[in-house]
Copies of this chain bind each other. A is one copy, B any other.
Amino acid sequence: MKKAYVHGYDQRENIRLQDQASTLVELLHADTKYPAGSRVLEAGCGVGAQTTTLARNSPQALITSVDISETSLAEARRKAMAAGLTNVQFEQADIFNLPYGPDSFDHIFVCFVLEHLARPVEALHQLKSHLKQGGTITVIEGDHGSAYFHPDSEAARQAIQCQVELQRRAGGNAMVGRELYPLLRKAGFDSIHVSPRMVYVDSSRPELVEGFTKKTFTAMIEGVRQSATEAGMVEPDVFEKGIRDLYQTAGADGVFCYTFFKAVARRSPVAVTTGS
């Protein structure tokens, strides 16, 4: 997977991912807690935006966080050290070619990773082979097709569509959230339960107006300005209007909606497995 990572690796992007994790942390992560002594793989930890929450929610679990990018891992290690985490080890590894054997982990955690992969079912299938029978996988993904807002705006929808199209060209899928159930099913998992986590923002929720509508979602769309206009996907003035209109949804009479999807599934504890 040597495709471009659409979110980029720069410092501003780190801040955005961190903003995102700190405003959505309860919504997405509060119900993920692993028992003492369990071995957990965080596959695709990136810059460690979720790792601190994961490790603090399960302080007695033994977490291995891997990413394909050494640059991201360096930042993730720095962040874990600053947070004083003692139950996480970081290792460079490719999800499609992990250096662990069968039955290595009790649980696997995958957050904001499948959106970047051209072969998500294969990735899930590979991960399953490292999971103990009866172990669980937790997958969290966004879905940019779930974004809608008031006032509605064709320009804002076009600006969002640029991000979707750039991610598609990079081999990913920005609308993967809605597909978690069929993807996990195709990868052979059992007991799949998908739980949508909708973020609803109006001006009675000022912390979400700032933390989500402006600093997470609109900032992410602003982040593709140069790529989108250079690729000729959109007229620069339409893109600018789209961004202005997205900020309008953060006003006193604005509303912004977005849905993340969280799935938990199990590797069958009894069936004879094939090919893993």
- A-to-B contact residues, CB < 8 Å: 143, 145-146, 148-150, 152, 175, 178-179, 181-182, 185-186, 192-196, 198, 200, 202-204, 252-255, 257, 259
From B148, B152, B175, B257, give the contact of A152 (CB < 8 A): B175
CB-based contact A179/B150 at 8 Å: yes
> Which among A145, A178, A200, A252 has the greatest number of chain B C-beta atoms within 10 A?
A178
Q: How far is the CB of A222 from chain B (nearest CB, A)?
A: 22
A257 and B195 alpha carbons, distance in the complex (Å): 12
Q: A196-B198, A198-B196 are in contact. Are A186 and B253 (CB under 8 A)?
A: yes
Q: Collect the chain B residues with CB atoms within 8 Å of residue A178's CB.
A: 148-150, 255, 257
Q: A193-B204, A200-B194 are in contact. Are A182 and B148 (CB under 8 A)?
A: no
CB-based contact B200/A255 at 8 Å: no
A196 and B204 alpha carbons, distance in the complex (Å): 14
Q: Collect the chain B residues with CB atoms within 8 Å of residue A203's CB.
A: 181
Q: Collect the chain B residues with CB atoms within 8 Å of residue A175's CB.
A: 148, 152
19 contacting pairs across A/B (C-beta < 8 A) = A143-B148, A146-B257, A148-B175, A148-B178, A150-B178, A150-B182, A152-B175, A178-B257, A181-B203, A181-B204, A181-B255, A182-B202, A185-B252, A185-B253, A186-B253, A193-B204, A194-B204, A196-B198, A198-B259
Known pairs A148-B178, A182-B202 / 17 extra A-B pairs, C-beta < 8 Å? A143-B148, A145-B148, A145-B152, A146-B148, A150-B182, A179-B255, A181-B202, A181-B203, A181-B253, A182-B253, A182-B255, A185-B252, A186-B253, A193-B204, A194-B200, A194-B204, A198-B259
A175 and B182 alpha carbons, distance in the complex (Å): 28
Q: Collect the chain B residues with CB atoms within 8 Å of residue A146's CB.
A: 148, 257
Q: Collect the chain B residues with CB atoms within 8 Å of residue A257's CB.
A: 146, 178, 196, 259
Closest to A191 in B: B204
A150 and B143 alpha carbons, distance in the complex (Å): 12
Q: Collect the chain B residues with CB atoms within 8 Å of residue A186's CB.
A: 253
CB-based contact A194/B202 at 8 Å: yes
Q: How far is the CB of A266 from chain B (nearest CB, A)?
A: 13
Q: How far is the CB of A173 from chain B (nearest CB, A)?
A: 11
Q: Collect the chain B residues with CB atoms within 8 Å of residue A255's CB.
A: 178-179, 181-182, 194
Q: Collect the chain B residues with CB atoms within 8 Å of residue A152's CB.
A: 145, 175
Q: A178-B255, A185-B253 are in contact. Are A200 and B204 (CB under 8 A)?
A: no
A178 and B192 alpha carbons, distance in the complex (Å): 30
Q: Collect the chain B residues with CB atoms within 8 Å of residue A204's CB.
A: 181, 192-194
